C-alpha cells in the first residue's frame, strides 16, 4: 500500500480515499469469512489464534505502517487503524493482538531503534512470523509509569536486569521474539533540581536466561489474546540492546502511547459497530407479541443511540489520525478519541446485550463476548480518568 498524503481537514467517515477503502473492504471480508466463524471456539478454549495471525501476516497487516526497506507495506498508521477496526467488529482478541504487535511491539523499534536494530528485528515483526511486546506496566506502576521499579545495571558492556512487569500482551506466545522493557538505569537531576530516576528501554530477546513469562492471566475477556506477567531475574543482555537514547525511555514511550490511543480507539469503534450490526440483525428477526422487536420504539431508539455513538467515536479517531499524519499536535485529540470510543464500546455492548435478552447472556453470541471484552477498553493504554486528565492539561487547566 502506498502512502496517501492527508490534509489538515482529515479523513471523512464514509468518504475514504480509494486505497484506504479498498484495504478496509479487504480486511472486512477477511473478518467476516475467516475470523468470525472460529471466534467463539477460540474464545471458549482460551486459544491463541496462530493460524489467523499467520494469515494476517501474509496479508501484510502487521507491516502496514512501516517502510518497505524493513519489510513493511509502505502505508501509514491510519491504514493500520482501519484494519484493527474491521477485525474488532468480530473479534477483539485478534484485534488487540494486531494493535499491540504493531504499535507497542514493532513501532518503538521503528521510531527509536538504530539501523542495525531495525534490520535485525523489523522484518520478522512486519511479516507476522514473530511478535514483540512492550513491558511498561508493573504491579505498582500502571498509570504512574514513573514509578518503575525494574532496574538495569550496565557493567562491562552488559545490562543486568531485575524486576517484574504486569499485563503484557503478546509476551508469551510461541512466536514472541522479544520484549522491550522499561527499567531504571540510574538517576538524573530534573528541571526542579530534584533527583529523579533515569528510565531507559532495553530489548530482551525471548529465551534469554532469567526472563520468564509467568502463567497467563485468567481474564474476564480477550480470552484468545496472550497476556502474561513477566519476571526478570539477573537477565543479561548486551549494551547495544538499549533502545533509543539512555534516559529517554519514559518520554519515548509516552509518544508511543499517544499513537497507540488512536489505534485502541479504532478497536473500540470496531467493537461498538459490531454491537450495532448484531442488534439491527437480531431486532429484525426476533418477534414479540407478533411483531419484530425493531418496530418497538424502545428498541429502535436504543439502536439509534448506539449508531450515534459509533459515528461520533469514529469521527474522533479519524481526526486524531489525520492530525498525527499531518505532523500536527495530536495528544488531546488522541485522548478524546480513546475516551469517547472506549465509552461507546462499553455502552453499546451493554445496550446490545439488553436488546438480545437472555441470548445476550450466552457466550456463543458475539454481543456477550463484546460485553466481556469491552470493559478493558476503558482501562488499557490509559484509563478513562487518565484521558480526562490529559484533555484538561491540554486545555491549560
Which one, of 118, 23, 129, lies nearest residue 77 by Cα?
A: 23
Crossing angle of the two packed helices 77-88 and 18-30, in degrees rounded to 10? 30
Q: Which position among 85, 86, 138, 381 bears the catalytic label?
A: 381
Backbone angles phi, psi at 23, to 5 degrees: -60, -45
All 3 cell numbers of residue 234?
Answer: 539477573
Compute the half-sphere exposure of residue 73: CA atoms within 13 Å on the CB side of its CA. 27
180, 135 in Cβ contact below 8 A? yes
Q: How far apart are CA 241 and CA 201, in angstroms?
A: 9
Give residues with Cβ within 8 angstroms of 327, minimum separation 6. none
Active site residue 295: no
Tally the residues of the chain. 397
Angle at 153 between CA 151 and CA 158, to 5 degrees: 130
Q: How far apart are CA 256 and CA 259, in angstroms?
A: 5
Burial label, 310 (beta-carbon count in 10 A; 0-12, 13-18, 19+) = buried
Q: How far apart are CA 156 and CA 22, in angstroms?
A: 52
Active site residues: 381
Amino acid at each position: 500500500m502506498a502512502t496517501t498524503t492527508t490534509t489538515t481537514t482529515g479523513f471523512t467517515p464514509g468518504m475514504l480515499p480509494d486505497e484506504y477503502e479498498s484495504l478496509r473492504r479487504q480486511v472486512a471480508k477477511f473478518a467476516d469469512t475467516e475470523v468470525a466463524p472460529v471466534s467463539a471456539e477460540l474464545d471458549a478454549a482460551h486459544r491463541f489464534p496462530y493460524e489467523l495471525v499467520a494469515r494476517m501476516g501474509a496479508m501484510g497487516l502487521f507491516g502496514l505502517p512501516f517502510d518497505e526497506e524493513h519489510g513493511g507495506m509502505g502505508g501509514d498508521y491510519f491504514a493500520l487503524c482501519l484494519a484493527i477496526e474491521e477485525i474488532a467488529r468480530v473479534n477483539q482478541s485478534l484485534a488487540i493482538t494486531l494493535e499491540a504487535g504493531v504499535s507497542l511491539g514493532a513501532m518503538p523499534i521503528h521510531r527509536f531503534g538504530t539501523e542495525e536494530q531495525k534490520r535485525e528485528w523489523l522484518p520478522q515483526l512486519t511479516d507476522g512470523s514473530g511478535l514483540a511486546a512492550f513491558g511498561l506496566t508493573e504491579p505498582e506502576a500502571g498509570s504512574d509509569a514513573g514509578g518503575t521499579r525494574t532496574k538495569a545495571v550496565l557493567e562491562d558492556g552488559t545490562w543486568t536486569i531485575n524486576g517484574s512487569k504486569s499485563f503484557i500482551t503478546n509476551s508469551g506466545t510461541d512466536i514472541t521474539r522479544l520484549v522491550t522493557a522499561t527499567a531504571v538505569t540510574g538517576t538524573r537531576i530534573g528541571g526542579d533540581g530534584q533527583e529523579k530516576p533515569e528510565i531507559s528501554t532495553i530489548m530482551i530477546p525471548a529465551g534469554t536466561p532469567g526472563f520468564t513469562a509467568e502463567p497467563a492471566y485468567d481474564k474476564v475477556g480477550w480470552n484468545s489474546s496472550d497476556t502474561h506477567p513477566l519476571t526478570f531475574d539477573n537477565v543479561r543482555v548486551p549494551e547495544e540492546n538499549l533502545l533509543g537514547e539512555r534516559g529517554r525511555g519514559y518520554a519515548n514511550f509516552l509518544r508511543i502511547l499517544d499513537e497507540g490511543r488512536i489505534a485502541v480507539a479504532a478497536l473500540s469503534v470496531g467493537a461498538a459497530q459490531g454491537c450495532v450490526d448484531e442488534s439491527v440483525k437480531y431486532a429484525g428477526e426476533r418477534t414479540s407479541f407478533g411483531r419484530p422487536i425493531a418496530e418497538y420504539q424502545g428498541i429502535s431508539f436504543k439502536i439509534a443511540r448506539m449508531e450515534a455513538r459509533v459515528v461520533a467515536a469514529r469521527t474522533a479517531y479519524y481526526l486524531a489520525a489525520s492530525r498525527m499524519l499531518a505532523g500536527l499536535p495530536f495528544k488531546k485529540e488522541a485522548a478524546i478519541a480513546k475516551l469517547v470510543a472506549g465509552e461507546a464500546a462499553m455502552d453499546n455492548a451493554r445496550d446490545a446485550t439488553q436488546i438480545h435478552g437472555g441470548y445476550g447472556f450466552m457466550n456463543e453470541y458475539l454481543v456477550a463476548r463484546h460485553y466481556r471484552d469491552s470493559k478493558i477498553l476503558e482501562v488499557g493504554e490509559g484509563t478513562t480518568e487518565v484521558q480526562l486528565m490529559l484533555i484538561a492539561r491540554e486545555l491549560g487547566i
